[in-house]
Amino acid sequence: MNFCREGRPALGAYAFGLLSAADELIVERHVAGCEECFKELAGFFRLRNAIRDLPPETFLEGSPDDE
């Protein structure tokens, strides 16, 4: 698969700790050799850290789509 195009959602899931161990390995191997995806992942980690600083009440109202 073309990770740089199709794997982008996995980067976000990785940053938020949502991937299985096997999928985490795929992400780690790819970003180790791909600067573009590494930067993308760093952006997701910044986002995660920013969100973590928010109070939980922030997410209790108006969540976009429930799945």
Q: Rule CB under 5 A: which residues touch Zn ion?
A: 4, 34, 37
Separation of alpha carbons 25 and 49, rounded Å: 22
Q: How far is the CB of 20 from Zn ion (least distance, A)?
A: 20
Q: How far is the CB of 21 from Zn ion (least distance, A)?
A: 20
Closest CA to 40 of 17, 62, 7, 67: 7
**Which one, 1 or 54, has the nearer CB to Zn ion?**
1
Q: Which one-letter DSSP state was computed for residue 13?
A: H
Nearer to Zn ion, 4 or 51 (CB): 4
